[in-house]
Structures are given as structure tokens and as C-alpha cells.
């Protein structure tokens, strides 16, 4: 119901009813569920994953209704906008984002801010949850690391960091020359790795390097593991730079920015100025690797200036994604680092005698040794991620005959980025919108919970099928005996 206050401030009274009725309805449904759904078992990891999978679908439904009831969007477009918001993706179904009312824009930004740390995470940080139920719920959204032994204390501290970054971001945007409402909105969308904008020109509507610097700092803060923030806060800066995630992030950032700067300069996309070409290359690389999706380069530049090689680089960066325990999506810096180390181990296995023991160490919050289990889990996740990526690409290619464009957009959708090549609009075919929604959802939940639920449902159907088949055989036998 928070947008109701915004509606009164900006005298957009027509939006009071949609948000009020959705708010009251949600409370009413919740009270019914509390009354009828009694606790029968402990919250296992499997049950938590079921909860995570369906809770994200349910929250997106709630978030979609204000768009739909107010008449701003059709139901499918409203659900697309809501899922894009909560999963911090940033694709929008509004044809002109510069004409969106303040109340609706606040809701767009707030859904991204709320979804940044994760729905279940926010619930755990704001509510008291009994005993052993906490750990499986915390793990269900792909989180395993914690600052304190207590998950409740961990979530509360991370929320404090998030709130502090939010307050500082708003102040810095105002100082940089951004209007107050826009400062709140872009802090919500930049820190959460969201990417929604108040203009079709995204953050480039201000054409201000100072504003872009503030946005990049917020994007990096949001995409960095919050455990690493705590490490820096405690004064362990060396450990921050030793961490495998930091090494992957800085390597990709520096190499990609230099490459794209040279490419843009060579093509005179932003004139002959090294600084201007560096400025645009840096912002797009930061936006891609933090899976935010704010843009200063648009389809015209992406097609003509970046060429296929430039958009491919951005596509790879979006697939790599952000840090674990952050607001970002993608495969994650940690897994990329472990994959590189695993490849090194396999090469050494081939070079050294068969009886030689080969192992690799890495630093991530503490010292680790890469075991077969870590390698298997990491490489399996990357493989499944790429399989889903390929399948989604094949489906969308049926409707769009633009291979590089579709690759770019699917990487953006699955990585919860939102950088657009201009393909996905409110006029796109419904099937492609559904594919994108599923990619947002799967990407945000890091695949495993969705696969576990699908597998369990299929197994249930198989069991039912076997039972029916068995009963039919018994009946046939009885008839034969007669």
C-alpha cells in the first residue's frame, strides 16, 4: 500500500483504489491461509524449494494486479512487468516509460528494490521465524554463506547494509543533480541490479557523467557479495582483493572495458574522444556484469557501433553475471572462478604422472580446496544454465530471425539484466513473453529449485500412472478368470 502515499503526494488519486484493493485482498487471502493451513511438518530443504518456486510466482501475481486493475497494462503484460521487477531484470512492457505516472513508477522501482535481496530473504529479515525452519528457507534462494552463525542475525545485518546503501545513493544522486523522485527511483533500480528507468533513454536522459558514476558505484555495491561488504567494513580490505569473486569481477571489468573502448573508438561511435568512448564502454560493462540493465548505449549503437563482436562480449558478460549473496543474477563470479580452477586441475592431471595428486586452492571468505563435489556441482549448474539458455534461444528464434539479437536478449533475460537489443516490446508475440517470464523466474531462483519441483511433479505423475496401470492389469486378470 506504500504507493497510495505517492498517489496523494502527486495528486494521482485514480491509483488509490487499485493499490488499496490489492493490498486489502492480499491481507484477506493471507488471513485465510493462516487459519486453514496448519503446520504439519518441519521445513525441509525440499519443502523450502517448493515454497520458493511458488512464492515468486505468487508475489509476481500480487505485484501485477495494480498494473492490470488500473488499466495501464493487459494481464500478460502486467505479469511480465511484475516478474521483471521482482526478479530485478528490467525489461518493461510500457511503450513509453517517460509517460508513466509517478505512482506506477514508484511501484516499479519498489518491486525491484524489494526483490533485490530476494523475497524469502526479506521475509526472514523482517519476521520472526521459528527455529530450524530458517536454514532451509535461507538456502532455497541459492544462499549458503552467512556473516554470523545465526541466519536471522545475518539477514538483519545485510538488510541494514542495504538500507544504508539506499540512503547514501539517494543523497548522492540528489547532489549529482537528479530530481528527488528520480533519485529514489534510480537508487532502487541501480542498487537492486534492476534496470527499470523513467525514460526510454534510461539513465542517459541526464547525459551526466557524475550521475553515471553514482549509478555505477551503486550497481557494484549491489552486485558484490554482502559478506564481502562486511569484510571491508571490518577493515579486512586485503581479504576482499584476495577473494576469487573479486578477482573474476576485476578481470572481466578491466579486459572488457578496454576492448570495447578500443572498438568504439575505432568505429568513432562517440567521436574521436578517448574519454567519451571509455565512458560509454565502462558504463555498459558495469551494467552488464552487475546484471543491472541501465543503458547509455541503445539498439542503434549496439547494432552499428559495437558490431557483432561487441554485443557478443556484452552477452558473455551477462551470462557470467554478478557475485553470490548479492542482488545480481547470472552464473555468478564464484562459479566462473571455480570453473577456471577446475580446468587448470584437469590440465595438470593430464601433464603429471597418473599417481600424482593434483588439487587447487582458492580464497572465498576463507581458504577452500576444490573437491570433486565442488567441481561437479559447479560444472553441472553451468551446463544446465547453458541448456536452458539454448532452449530459450531456439524458441524465440522461431519468431525473430536475428541470431545475435536473440542471444543477447536471452542472456539478458536469464541473467536478470534487462539490457535490450530492441526485440522485446509490448507488441512481441505472447509466446516470447512467456519464455522471458520463465527465464526471469528460473534465473532468479538459480535453476535448482525449479528443476527439483518439476522432477517431483513428473515423478508423482509417473507413480500415479504406474498405479493406474497396475489396477488395470488386475481388472483384466479378473475378467480373464471369469
Residue 37: predicted pLDDT: 81
- Residues facing residue 368 across a β-bridge: 362
Residue 442 main-chain phi, psi, to 5 deg: -65, -45
| Start-to-end CA span in the chain (Å) | 68
Residue 130: predicted pLDDT: 54
Residue 247: predicted pLDDT: 94
pTM score, whole prediction? 0.91
Residue 106 main-chain phi, psi, to 5 deg: -60, -40
Residue located via cell numbers 488395470: 472
Cβ–Cβ < 8 Å for 82, 67: yes
Residue 131: predicted pLDDT: 52
- Residues facing residue 364 across a β-bridge: 366
Check residue 55 and give left, alpha or beta (phi > 0: left; psi -120 to 50: alpha). alpha
DSSP states along 20-46: HHHHHHHHHHHHHHHHH----S---HH
Question: b/e map of 136-150 (b: 16 or more CB within 10 Å)?
Answer: bbbbbbbbebbbeee
Alpha carbon separation from 145 to 93, 233, 425 (Å, rounded): 35, 17, 38
CA pair distance 415, 86, nearest whole angstrom: 13
Residue 333: predicted pLDDT: 93
Element spanning 453, H or E: helix 448-481
CA pair distance 439, 454, nearest whole angstrom: 15
Alpha carbon separation from 214 to 24, 180, 210, 290 (Å, rounded): 37, 15, 6, 14
Alpha carbon separation from 191 to 179, 194, 201, 245, 451 (Å, rounded): 18, 8, 19, 18, 29
DSSP states along 71-140: TSS-HHHHHHHHHHHHTT------S-GGG--HHHHHHHHHHHHHHHS-HHHHHHHHS---GGGHHHHHHH
- Residues facing residue 367 across a β-bridge: 363
Q: Tens of pLDDT along the chain (482 residues)? A: 999 999 999 999 999 999 999 999 999 999 998 888 876 667 777 888 888 899 999 999 999 999 999 999 999 999 999 999 999 999 999 999 999 999 999 999 999 999 998 888 888 877 765 555 677 777 777 777 777 777 778 888 889 999 999 999 999 999 999 999 999 999 999 999 999 999 999 999 999 999 999 999 999 999 999 999 999 998 889 889 999 999 999 999 999 999 999 999 998 888 889 999 999 999 999 999 999 999 998 888 888 888 889 999 999 999 999 998 888 889 999 999 999 988 888 888 788 776 667 778 888 888 888 888 888 889 999 999 999 999 999 999 999 999 989 999 999 999 999 898 889 999 999 999 999 999 999 999 888 888 888 888 888 877 766 776 777 777 777 777 77
Alpha carbon separation from 127 to 55, 130, 152, 156, 243 (Å, rounded): 16, 10, 9, 10, 32
Indicate the length of the chain as a whole number: 482
Q: CB-based contacts of 324: which residues, under 8 Å, 6+ apart?
A: 142, 143, 145, 225, 245, 332, 333, 334
Residue 475: predicted pLDDT: 75
Cβ–Cβ < 8 Å for 438, 445: no
Amino acid at each position: 500500500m506504500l504507493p497510495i502515499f505517492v498517489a496523494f503526494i502527486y495528486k494521482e488519486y485514480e491509483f488509490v483504489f487499485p493499490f488499496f484493493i490489492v493490498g486489502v485482498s492480499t491481507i484477506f487471502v493471507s488471513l485465510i491461509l493462516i487459519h486453514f493451513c496448519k503446520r504439519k511438518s518441519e521445513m525441509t530443504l525440499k519443502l523450502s524449494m517448493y515454497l520458493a518456486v511458488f512464492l515468486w510466482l505468487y508475489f509476481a501475481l500480487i505485484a501485477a494486479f495494480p498494473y492490470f486493475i488500473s488499466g495501464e497494462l493487459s494481464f500478460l503484460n502486467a505479469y511480465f512487468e511484475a516478474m521483471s521487477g521482482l526478479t530485478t531484470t528490467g525489461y518493461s512492457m510500457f511503450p513509453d516509460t517517460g509517460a508513466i505516472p509517478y505512482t506506477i513508477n514508484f511501484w516499479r522501482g519498489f518491486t525491484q528494490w524489494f526483490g533485490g535481496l530476494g523475497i524469502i530473504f526479506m521475509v526472514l529479515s523482517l519476521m520472526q521465524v521459528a527455529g530450524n525452519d530458517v536454514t532451509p528457507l535461507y538456502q532455497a534462494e541459492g544462499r549458503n554463506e552467512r556473516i554470523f552463525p545465526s541466519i536471522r542475525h545475518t539477514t538483519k545485518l545485510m538488510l541494514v547494509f542495504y538500507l544504508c546503501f539506499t540512503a547514501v545513493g539517494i543523497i548522492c544522486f540528489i547532489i549529482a543533480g537528479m530530481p528527488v523522485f528520480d533519485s529514489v527511483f534510480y537508487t532502487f533500480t541501480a542498487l537492486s541490479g534492476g534496470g527499470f528507468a523513467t525514460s526510454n533513454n534510461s539513465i542517459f536522459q541526464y547525459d551526466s557523467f557524475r550521475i553515471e558514476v553514482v549509478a555505477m558505484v551503486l550497481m557494484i555495491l549491489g552486485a558484490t557479495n554482502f559478506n564481502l561488504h562486511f569484510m571491508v567494513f571490518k577493515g579486512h580490505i586485503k581479504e576482499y582483493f584476495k577473494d576469487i569473486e573479486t578477482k573474476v569481477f576485476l578481470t572481466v571489468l578491466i579486459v572488457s572495458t578496454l576492448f570495447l573502448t578500443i572498438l568504439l573508438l575505432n568505429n568513432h561511435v562517440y567521436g574521436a574522444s578517448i574519454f567519451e568512448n571509455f565512458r560509454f564502454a565502462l558504463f555498459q560493462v558495469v551494467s552488464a556484469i552487475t546484471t543491472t540493465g541501465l543503458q547509455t548505449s541503445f539498439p542503434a549503437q549496439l547494432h552499428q557501433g559495437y558490431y557483432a563482436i561487441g554485443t557478443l562480449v556484452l552477452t558473455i558478460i551477462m551470462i557470467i553475471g554478478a557475485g553470490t549473496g548479492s542482488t545480481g543474477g547470472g552464473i555468478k563470479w564464484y562459479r566462473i572462478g571455480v570453473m577456471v580452477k577446475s580446468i587448470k586441475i584437469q590440465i595438470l592431471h593430464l601433464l603429471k604422472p597418473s599417481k600424482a595428486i593434483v588439487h587447487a586452492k582458492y580464497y572465498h571468505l576463507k581458504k577452500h580446496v576444490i573437491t570433486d563435489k565442488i567441481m561437479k556441482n559447479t560444472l553441472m549448474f553451468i551446463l544446465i544454465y547453458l541448456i536452458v539458455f539454448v532452449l530459450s534461444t531456439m524458441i524465440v528464434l522461431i519468431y525473430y530471425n536475428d541470431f545475435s539479437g536473440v542471444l543477447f536478449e536471452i542472456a539478458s533475460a536469464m541473467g536478470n539484466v534487462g539490457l535490450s537489443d530492441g526485440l522485446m516490446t509490448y507488441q512481441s508475440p505472447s509466446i516470447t513473453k512467456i519464455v522471458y517470464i520463465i527465464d526471469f523466474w528460473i534465473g532468479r531462483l538459480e535453476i535448482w529449485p525449479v528443476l527439483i519441483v518439476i522432477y517431483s511433479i513428473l515423478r508423482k505423475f509417473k507413480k500415479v500412472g504406474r498405479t493406474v496401470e497396475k489396477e488395470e492389469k488386475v481388472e483384466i486378470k479378473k475378467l480373464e478368470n471369469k
